[in-house]
Amino acid sequence: MAPKRAKPEPPPQPPGSEDYDSAPETQNDVGSPASPSSLALTAKRRRLDVLPKGQVLKVRMRNFMTYGDVTVVPGPRLNLVLGPNGTGKSSLVNALCLGLGGAPNLLGRAESVKDFVRKGCQQGSTEIHLSSGSDRPIIITRQMNSEDGTSKWLLNNQASTKENVLKKVADLKIQVDNLCQFLPQDKVVMFARLSPIELLRETEKAIGSGHLWELHQSLADKANSLRDDKEDVQRKESDLEHNRQANSALEREVQRFKERDDVLKKVTLLNQRLPWLRYEECKADYRQLQDQQKAMVRELEHKQRQLTQQQLPLREHEKAAQSAAQAMRQGRAMLGKLEPTINTEYDASYALCDEMEVQHERIQSLDEAAQEHAANLERLQKKVDDTRAELQELGPGPQVG
């Protein structure tokens, strides 16, 4: 049976003019009408200005995972998505997470948005309509590139940034990173591992306007501050005890310093009295020296009288010494006159001694020559005697007739 041709898509409407009365007949990628179990969800007509802020009004997915182009319009209360495996139930959850600024790792399936683009397509997108509390919805569009994994963001069909989108989502109290508010299938185990404290924290973030979480955080901060204050008090008490001990030691040091100061004052007073004591000692010494001086003067006068008596023979000796000195001077004058002659005679005697040494050496040489000559004569005489003895032994020679 040949598949039906897909109906042409109606032209887009300006923001705020969408009809959220009922979902249009959604079609899958092969063009057959989608059944109620294949995410063709409807909603009763409702006024946007009375809806709670952040309510999902419509989700459109293009070339996203298993979908070619599908639009889902959830109801105002509890929505159940039913269907067999592979019909795209998780795709809708992933579109909500990624379309509201969530990171791929929150889903636990992939690390990049390019893995969520339908195979064979270069670009995929999600478009989520949210209630703003007024008659104009908030439309967040995320266009994902399958080549480099980058994303482009549109806010109410105007180019925007991820930071602005995240800020707008946070203003609507939507927390896709809170497991108590958004729990992907692959994060159930992580949710089960949350501690009671972490569950309480995530629950407080998820419910209400977040004021409860702020109060809890403020209470925790105050508890931490109180703990820090207690530690600071304990530290200060320890410092106080340490300072008391140091003060006690310092008091002992102060007492010793006072005692030292008293001793120094006594030393200063004694140092001031010391010159007077030295003056008294010097005065007594002076008087003693005066008495000694008078005794020495008397002794000196006595010695001078004795010296005068003893100087009479000394003067006679001085006269004799002067006469001897004059005679000595005369002898020195005569010696000065004889000195050249003495020098000449000394030189002559020195030359004569040299000549005597030369003659003595010549005599020694002659004695040595005479001894050698005598030795030669003695050898010749011995030879003559030896020759005569030989002749006598030979007897008389033949006679000549």
- Give the tens place of pLDDT for each residue, 67-82: 899 999 988 888 888 8
Question: pLDDT digits over 134-192, tens only?
Answer: 778 889 999 998 888 888 999 988 998 888 888 888 877 777 776 666 666 656 556 55
Residue 6 pLDDT:
39
At 330 the pLDDT is: 85
Residues of the chain with pLDDT under 70: 1-49, 178-195, 197-214, 395-401
Tokens at 327, concatenated = 């005679």
How many other C-beta atoms can be found within 10 angstroms of the C-beta atom of residue 257?
Answer: 11
Per residue in 361-382, pLDDT (tens digit) is: 888 888 888 888 888 888 888 8
Say what the pLDDT of residue 105 is. 74
Output the pLDDT for position 198.
Answer: 65
Torsion of CA 360, 361, 364, 368, to 10 degrees: -160
The overall pTM is greater than 0.75: no
Consecutive H or E run containing 364: helix 211-394
**pLDDT value at position 79?**
86
Burial of 390 by CB count in 10 Å (0-12 exposed, 13-18 middle, 19+ buried)? Answer: exposed
Give CA–CA dist 180/99, Å, rounded: 19
Predicted local confidence at residue 34, as pLDDT:
42
